[in-house]
Amino acid sequence: MEFLPISWRLQGKPALLAGGGEVALRKGRLLHRSGAKVSVVAPQVCDELREIVVQSGGACLQRAFAPADLDGQALVICATDNRDLNADIAAQAQQRGLPVNVVDNPALGDFIFPAIVDRSPVLISISSSGASPVLARKLRSQLESSLPARWGRLADLMARFRQPLKAKLDNIGARRLFWEQALDGPLVEKVLAGKDSEAEAMLSDAIDQADASRLSRGEVYLVGAGPGDPDLLTFRALRLLQKADVVLYDRLVGKGIVDLARRDAELVYVGKARDKHALPQDNINELLVHYAKQGKKVCRLKGGDPFIFGRGGEEIDLIVAEGIDFQVVPGITAASGCAAYAGIPLTHRDHAQSVRFVTGHRQDGTVTLDWQHLVSETETVVFYMGLVGLRQICDQLMAHGRRGDTPIALVSRGTTDLQEVITGTLESLPDAIEGREIHAPTLIIVGSVVSLHPKFGWFKP
């Protein structure tokens, strides 16, 4: 993150604008809307900008810039049509410790202006860190068209009821949950429909009925994070992740997904690499209970789907025994996600009429499976966690009747920008990857559907 997005109160503070043309005018309008006291220095100043100066109580200095113009200013904007002059003014301002913006040259300044969606008091700022202002404006136009103008009235309504709610609920966590539930209900639609009096009565009644003990009750969310690509999260998964006070995650959950959690949420890494667990499973189960009993909303973020080789059932056991409320959010399991991104349909009328998911890693470290039921030529078999046992898997499938030329694919870090798909046959693949560095997590797909990968492989990381 190159720039820190902040909201800066400028009401009544002096701001110097160097430049008097169209570019300076655009910045002057923003400063005026924020309540700043705008002064302009330039040999020529357009009429609208001069009017802004008068209305804001600043000074219009219709001449060349002088160093003394920086005296007493809170910030400086360089918007002349002379790049050298802009750079000189910026350097002088920075020597005095004044924050400065240089139009069209963000590298010379300290801050930049984002594109703004204004639903006051709700403001949404969009920045490309100076890389592409046009892109930021494009995103703003999309948001402008999708956000009703009355969102600001909703914020005003909530502001008026903050103190009554605080008087009713002294727990900050309970108050946050109250607002989250209120925004998920009909209150929003009342305001957006212009029914302000009904919305106010509804909110007042909700505060009267607010139950601190219920709102402060802990809960566990067992959330499937999918195979890696953050775009594969479900809406519900994202909503609960951003609602959680504590997030427990393991190595199968990508950083881009963990970053979607609330900024103030406690993030707890629990490891879970093969045979190298940062925390044993029992300890993870106990942590979920520990945090929930403190009245916290706990998100157990798991790669793929929690109930498909995710040990979700084991984690729920203790939660149920302790009488803790919980929700389970399914995720896109690795077989579906990785196969789709590899261009390998798990079923196909001409190749496979069924699919079977199998774990290639057993509790005792061996690969002991019901091999005789895994050798049908019309069935796709997907092995989770099978990289270490790949040679044994291939040997056993051939020993029990699967042909040696059966196509097989090894998908490493599927659905991410680091995805790698290695194809071969049951006979050839173990030797082909011998000595190669293959990164976990991996998935093994066996069956004639793998032959479609060169034709259907659409994802090019």
Q: Is 303 annotated as a binding residue?
A: yes
88 is annotated as an active-site residue: no
Q: Has 152 been labeled as part of a binding site?
A: no
CA distance 62 to 42: 5
The per-residue b/e assignment along 114-131, b for 16 or more CB within 10 angstroms, e otherwise, is bbbbebeeeebebbbebe
Catalytic residue among 27, 37, 190, 272: 272
Residue among 250, 296, 297, 302 flagged as catalytic: 250
Q: What proportions of the chain, in percent to the nearest 5, are helix, strand and coil?
A: 40, 20, 40
Structure tokens at 245: 């006070």
Longest CA–CA separation in the chain, Å? 91
Q: For residue 81, which phi and psi values (nearest 5 degrees)?
A: -95, 15
22 is in an annotated binding site: yes
DSSP string, 142-167: HHHHHS-TTHHHHHHHHHHTHHHHHH
Determine whether 168 is an active site residue: no
227 among annotated binding-site residues: yes
104 is in an annotated binding site: no
| Residue 385 annotated in ligand binding | yes
Alpha carbon 421 to its chain's center = 26
283-322 burial string, b = 16+ CB within 10 Å, else e?
Answer: ebbebbbebbeebbbbbbbbbbbbbbbbebeebbebbeeb
Is 304 marked as a binding-site residue? yes
User: According to the annotation, is 420 in a ligand binding site?
Assistant: no
Task: Show Cβ contacts of residue 336 under 8 Å, excluding neighbours closer than 6 positions.
Answer: 346
Q: Annotated binding residue at 43?
A: yes
Instruction: Tell me the binding residues for S-adenosyl-L-methionine.
Output: 227, 303-305, 308, 333-334, 385, 414
Which sequence positions are flagged as catalytic? Answer: 250, 272
Annotated binding-site ranges: 22-23, 43-44, 227, 303-305, 308, 333-334, 385, 414
Binding site listing for NAD(+):
22-23, 43-44
